[in-house]
Amino acid sequence: MFRISVTVCGRGISKRLASSFSGEDALPSNLRIPSNLVDRARAERPPPPSDSSLPVLRRCDAAVPVHLSPVQTWVETLERRDSKQLGLVDLHPDVFAVPTRIDILHEVELWQRNFKRISRAHTKVRSEVRGGGKKPWRQKGSGKARHGSIRSPIWRGGGVSHGPRGPTSFYYMLPMRVRVQGLKIALSSKLAQDYLHVVDTLNIPTPDPQYLMDLIRYRHWGESVLIVDVGEELPENILQATESLKTVNVIPAIGLNVHSMLKHEVLVLTLEAVKFLENKLLWHDERFTLLYPFKLPYTDLP
């Protein structure tokens, strides 16, 4: 173990020496990924040839701002393990190419973790501990320290003076637009880091989980996959296949959230899911402020 620690220290020192010699080229130490976590094959997989004219299967429904242009990505299938790309899809830049604000992502992630938290830690205060109403011995003359009750906090078995008190709720709500911006930033980061894949439908030939794992390994997608579709009825095969898998999960599009996107490495959207998300997320950019809750009717809710 000592030898291992020495070699680790040695590697660390050599890395620091290398960075000081090579100047600004080497990555800073907090951005360097250990070699066993880097998938070399993924970095070296060839992208589809850019000269092949693939049809654009979907244009943006909403108006794209004049100074921006839609981002594009390929549409794939899950039918066969080694099928080619079917076409291209236009993604709205205000949803899939927003500037990355890691602080907003952090805020939304913390909110998601904490707003549901109810801490049920509870301790008894000196008045709640059983007993301790009577003065243990007289004030003067017994030779002992003066006390008023046997359950004061300085006594063994006494109450806790500043402990947790009862179920405490950590509920708070971030503004709606901050949460929406968090979703947009997460989607944009996934696309920018090459971890977003668009698929035409979720129909797979077999309900075998091994087929999905093979497909993911073959296409070098990543370790964990989050598959998103619209609607309550998802195809039976994909539901059965992902039921037993821990790292591959299917959710409906209304269940998309920043924590799941950060937890899973790869995000797979269907074309309907892309349309749904763009519709819902872009509405927040052009809506009035709340007149009354959105559960009540408005003429043109998304």
Summarize as ranges the residues that interact with other proteins (CB under 8 A).
65-67, 99, 101, 103, 283, 285-288, 291, 294, 297-301
DSSP one-letter code for 220 = T
Nearer to other proteins, 27 or 290 (CB): 290
Nearer to other proteins, 37 or 63 (CB): 63
Closest approach of other proteins to the CB of residue 95, in Å: 15
Nearer to other proteins, 128 or 285 (CB): 285
Q: How far is CA 23 from the centre of its chain?
A: 35
Q: Say how far apart CA 204 and CA 216 lie, in whole Å.
A: 13
Q: Say how far apart CA 270 and CA 277 lie, in whole Å.
A: 11
Lookup: tokens for 81:
């393990």
Beta bridge partners of 90: 72
At CA 237, angle to CA 234 and CA 241, rounded to 5?
Answer: 110
Nearer to other proteins, 85 or 279 (CB): 279
Closest approach of other proteins to the CB of residue 47, in Å: 28
Nearer to other proteins, 126 or 179 (CB): 179
DSSP one-letter code for 265 = S
Residue 25 amino acid letter: D
